[in-house]
Each structure stands twice: as C-alpha cells, then as structure tokens.
Amino acid sequence: MPTRDYYNILGVNRKADAEEIKKAYRRLARQWHPDHNPGSAKAAERFKDIQEAWEALRDPEERARYDRLGPFYRPEGRPPRPDELHEVFDSVLGNLFRSRSKGERDLQYTLALSLEEVASGVNKELVVPRMVRCETCTGSGADPDQGKRTCEVCGGSGKATGPRLWRTACYHCEGRGFTVERPCPTCAGAGLHEREDKVTVQVPAGVASGQKLKLAGKGNESRGRGTPGDLLVSVSVSEHPLFLRRGEDIVLDLPLTIAEATLGTEARVPTLEGTAVIRIPPGTAAGKTLRLQGRGLPRVDRGPRGDLHLRVILEVPTQLSEAQSSALAAWARSLPPESHPQRAALDLAVRNRS
C-alpha cells in the first residue's frame, strides 16, 4: 500500500514532531480499534492504515526515507518492482477519474408495451423507487441541531495537505470537511433515503424491444453535490395474440373458406387502430399475401409507416353433416379436371409411372 499519505492518515502536519505523531497515533488507534468497533469492516481497514502509518513515521530514519521516496516508499525497505510502479500510477489516475463517474447512480427500468401502444406512442407513468437526499440533513447524515463538527484535521476544507500526487481528500472526513457527532434522526446518518417517485416517460411511436429511453437526472441522488444519475428505461414489447411484428411491418394470418377463396369476397380485418375492409379477388390461393399499405407501425424517425400484410390460409371445413358431405362430393364430381390444373398434372405423372 504505497499510495498513502501517512501524514494525512494520522492527521498531522508534515513538520509534526515525534510527540505529536505519537499522540495522534494513540488517539486514532483507540478510536478505530476493532475491539471498540466490532464487526465494522471500515474500522478494521482504518486500523490497519493507522498501524502502517505509525510504523513508517515512528522511527526517524524510516520517516526520512518515507519523506524522500513518497509514493515509491515500501514499508519493507526494498525498491518498488516495475509492476508496483504501474500500480502507483494506476491508482493515482484512478483517483482522478473515479469521482466523475455517476454510473452507479443510474437506474434501470424495464417497461412492457403492447403493440397498440407502440403504434400510437404513449405517455407512461412509472413508479420508481430511487435514493434521494435526506431533507432533514440535506445529505450530510448529521443531526441538523449541532450534530456536525468541523473536521479538525483539514479545518473544514476537506482537502489534505501534502504532495498533489496523493489522494487529495482529507482522510478523516473523507473529503467532506466535517465529521458526524450525532447522526440525523431521519436517515440514521445515511444522508439518503428511498422514495417512490412518479416519473412520466414519453414513449415515441415505433419503438422496438431492447431500445432504451434515457431520463436524465431521474436516477439516484448522491449525498454530496454530485449530479443525480439517469433513469434508463428499457422497452420490452409484448407478443400480440393476432399480429406478428416484422420491423415496421406487421403480419396477420387471414383464414378464408374454400368458397370465399374461390369466389372472392370482401373481408373485414382487424388492424392496430380498428378494422379495415379488403377485397379478396376470386381464385385467391392459400399462402398469398395481400398488403394494406401504411397500416403497419410508424417509424421512430418519422419515415413512412410500415404495411399490414395479410397471409391467406385456407380453412378446411370440419364436422359436416351427411347432407353437407354429399353436397360437397356432388359439387367436386361436377368439376372438370381443368378446374384443378396442378392436381391434374400430378395425377398424370402417377399414371405415366404405372
């Protein structure tokens, strides 16, 4: 752990004499001793830091070596290895950039939409549980009635003195400039609490599953002055019982009776917005697709709307009475072979082979 400012950890000036260092160490070691903070990982970590700082600064010779080497100092007295030098630079650069990230404040939300909602576009009200700054303590975590004390080490600036290369936040107040003497009664010191907020999201027409809508600033707030995160709404379009989506186009299976397909008809079909009438020409074959232009989905980019494709299927009648069956058989017998040219060609092929 070379990238530590030991003076910052002990909260003493770089010119502090041996007696001051000893006093600071004793006070902090008592405060953060694991026996006084059972089960606290943070206390254990701090106690280790404090021990390490004390080991380096208690002995004048070791202290002089530390002052000379700075971030390249190693408690064991050996020079740093090349990989450890990388570690020094990585952690210094890491500290510079980490404070700008607000990724962990972003919230994810999955929004289920029907195809009809995709067609029209819709405003949806979401109830989003998010972390917001505590109103009682405005995020400090301290009782507003004198629960805060200015950090003695940095005098309230939140900044550590010492080389710039090291972390610049004060170790004792974690850069906040104050310590909490008595926690806020509302949030018990957390500075944040969960609140269910109603958020309206405007879903544009034509969105597809997997697309994300970003609501800037509607994610979690931070304790301090940082900007709140974003709310990322993932769209998930539910399967429709009738329509199949193909990009901007939609497909509908259109069952016709043998009589309708043979003689032609006018069929009323469902669309996303209501119904439409389509003319079926006589002799329409199964598998043929009829197109209703512009009755598909709108495009997010406001280009032309997609189409509604009607895929013809022939529905074979079942559960016929005896009279219906014989009428159908009589009708079939009355037809010449030319009425079914494909079937006639197959029958001819069979005869030629026997």
CB of 156 to Zn ion, least distance (A): 7
Residue among 51, 95, 136, 271 that touches Zn ion (CB under 5 A): 136
What's CA 153's distance to the chain center, in Å?
Answer: 40
Residue among 10, 53, 56, 170 that touches Zn ion (CB under 5 A): 170
CB of 3 to Zn ion, least distance (A): 19
Site map for Zn ion, 143-162, x if CB under 5 A? --------x-xx--------
Residues touching Zn ion: how many (CB under 5 A)? 12
CB of 131 to Zn ion, least distance (A): 12
Binding of Zn ion by 186 (CB under 5 A): yes
Type and span of the H or E element at 68: helix 60-69
Torsion, Cα of 312, 315, 316, 318 (10° steps): 180
Distance CA 35, CA 37 (A): 6
Residue among 53, 57, 107, 187 that touches Zn ion (CB under 5 A): 187
281, 264 contact by CB (below 8 A): yes
Tokens representing residue 330 in the block:
């009589």
Task: Indicate the residue among 170 and 308 with the shorter CB distance to Zn ion.
Answer: 170
Task: Indicate the residue among 184 and 233 with the shorter CB distance to Zn ion.
Answer: 184
**Short-list 226, 219, 130, CA closest to 175:** 226
Distance CA 234, CA 213 (A): 6
Task: Indicate the residue among 184 and 261 with the shorter CB distance to Zn ion.
Answer: 184
Torsion, Cα of 280, 284, 288, 289 (10° steps): -10
Residue among 118, 184, 215, 280 that touches Zn ion (CB under 5 A): 184
Q: Which residues of this chain interact with Zn ion, rule CB under 5 A? A: 134, 136-137, 151, 153-154, 170, 172-173, 184, 186-187
